[in-house]
Chain A
């Protein structure tokens, strides 16, 4: 199957999914709250209200309103936030760098520990280190993420006073508008506890996954054959077994995006990290409907994009679904 055909097909599927999400989003918006309430005071008469509704198109049939919504959405207009009085999409995207850097920090942390850790635990399952790591991972999985966060804050921020307990700290705004916390010591310091928190729940997940897949790979016939060929253990572990571990790990790991986004919301809440998740919860509290819908749509988009990328990566690294154009 040609790579272009694959991309087009996935793109098509992605568009369908986004349409469904937009319908759901719009339906919710339609039911929730009355935009008129926000725009117009109480002293306006009922007749004038109705006239205004007509003019704004709020009395049009569902599908007409939806198509209007869709048309606006495609141009990037997802409504205007009641609270901020600014375009909802802009408000959300302004918070994107914060969330992204948090996720980046956490991902770096948990990948750099879970990959070597999982591989080691598979190769030497009965060593004390492996038992210790696996035992620790059970603890990590049992502690709810927000408790980890609270605990970390209590110990390091309150009792010991060595870490900041909320916010991003000092950020630097890049020329293209991205506010980053990576370039200042203060910013990096603020990143530490939240990243550790988010990593603490993803780490055991990936650790066990990699260990299980690696153990499965190590038990296969072709690995046995590799031993029979007299290959060096290092080569057997890292070339033969590990390559085959990557495939299911990418697939299953890619499925964790939903969990990751949910945990990010929790982490941002505890640390008052000014990201999209925190914004979303504030919008819920304020019943800022356009912002709520806009967030759902943005998250839906992220979801679809990530899933498509994961599929693409899997197709590229799995020789059994080889696309012509590469060496056959």
Chain B
């Protein structure tokens, strides 16, 4: 059994006075200990929603309307609040997108680190401080002792994110969920931060769920990959396989749209149209209006995730090796 097992997760938001729209429409996810999984999709596809849902942090008026989230055998959705707090920030940590917004501007870095430790184990301030400074050093923050007493606004964006990563690692979690950890950072430091995350996860054998819209990053960091579209998983499997031979037409479109795939001077490949919002989903497969491989049945039924080798694809006409390109 996997360390983290999500089955049929649905998140609903109210739409009008008597109706609800689903932001997540039945998502499954498995993570083994130490495994690194990428979750890729456009803005609004539901990736961040998935991350927050795992930690039961969906804020009103949204709610988890169906499904189960089993961590280490127990269903997080039915645990009492105190038990959930035991897991959050302790066994499953999260890294948010924008470190300027993530850290409280009126508290020092040190306090925000020590409180995390003290929330989850009995530890005195001095010892907690020592541990925190060690972690700060681990994430390559220079002069960690003085940084400990700094305020977030006194650090650069890259340093702040390193602090957030340090906080995530403080409690030796089993899983880190990183929600677009480098998107808000300068392009020049994105690679640094990403490789830092990769190295730390590998060295400490921490599982990683990396949420991003950046396919090139995912290729280097993750072992398995999940591609989301309009609240559903459309393809999932080993990263290398999907990148080399995308099975779902959307996956292929995403990969083709990468700037690296195009010669200089040529036009970038674009998928025509836009992803539908949760309130106006088409019938059947949500991708079919934009899909060049759509057939008659695509607008009637929603395709289920079907196994194709080591992958699962939800498509009635997937691109499989040997089939037409």
A and B touch in the complex (CB under 8 A): yes
Interface flags for A239-269 (1: CB within 8 Å of B; 0: not) read 1100110010000000000000000000000
Q: Which residues of chain A are within 8 angstroms of B20 by Cβ–Cβ distance? A: none
Q: With A and B bound together, what is the CA distance between A318 and B89 in angstroms? A: 27
Query: In the complex, which residues of chain B have a beta carbon less than 8 angstroms from the beta carbon of A319?
Result: 105-106, 108, 151, 153
Contact pick for A244, options B94, B106, B119, CB 8 Å: B106
In the complex, the answer to whether B55 meets A222 with C-beta atoms within 8 Å is no
Binds A, one of B96-104, B206-214, B217-225, B266-274: B96-104
Interface string of A201-221 (1 = CB under 8 A from B): 000000000000000000111
A229 touches B119 (CB 8 A): yes
The complex places the Cα of A240 from the Cα of B86 at a distance, in Å, of 19
Of A229, A240, A322, which one neighbours B167 at CB under 8 angstroms? A229
Residue of B nearest to A219 (CB): B59
Q: How many A residues touch the partner, as a band?
A: 20 to 34
Interfacial chain A residues near B317, Cβ < 8 Å? none
Contacts of A328 in B (CB 8 A): 150, 154
Least Cβ distance of A33 to chain B in Å?
53
Min distance, Cβ A257 to any Cβ of chain B, angstroms: 25
| Residue from A225, A232, A244 within 8 A of B105 (CB atoms) | A244
A231 touches B116 (CB 8 A): yes
Q: Are A221 and B102 in contact (CB under 8 A)?
A: yes
Q: Which single residue of chain B is at the shortest CB-CB distance from A218?
A: B59
- Contact between A228 and B101, CB atoms less than 8 A apart: no
Residues B104 and A244 in contact, CB atoms below 8 Å apart: yes
Contact B115 A235 (CB under 8 A): yes
A230 touches B120 (CB 8 A): yes
B107 CB within 8 Å of chain A: yes
Residues of B within 8 A of A (CB): 55, 57, 59, 84-90, 93-94, 96, 98, 101-108, 115-116, 119-120, 149-151, 153-154, 167
Pairs A–B under 8 Å by Cβ, sample size 28: A221-B101, A222-B101, A222-B104, A222-B105, A223-B104, A224-B57, A225-B102, A226-B104, A227-B57, A227-B88, A228-B57, A228-B93, A228-B94, A228-B96, A229-B93, A229-B115, A229-B167, A230-B85, A230-B86, A230-B88, A230-B119, A231-B119, A232-B119, A240-B104, A247-B106, A318-B106, A327-B149, A328-B154
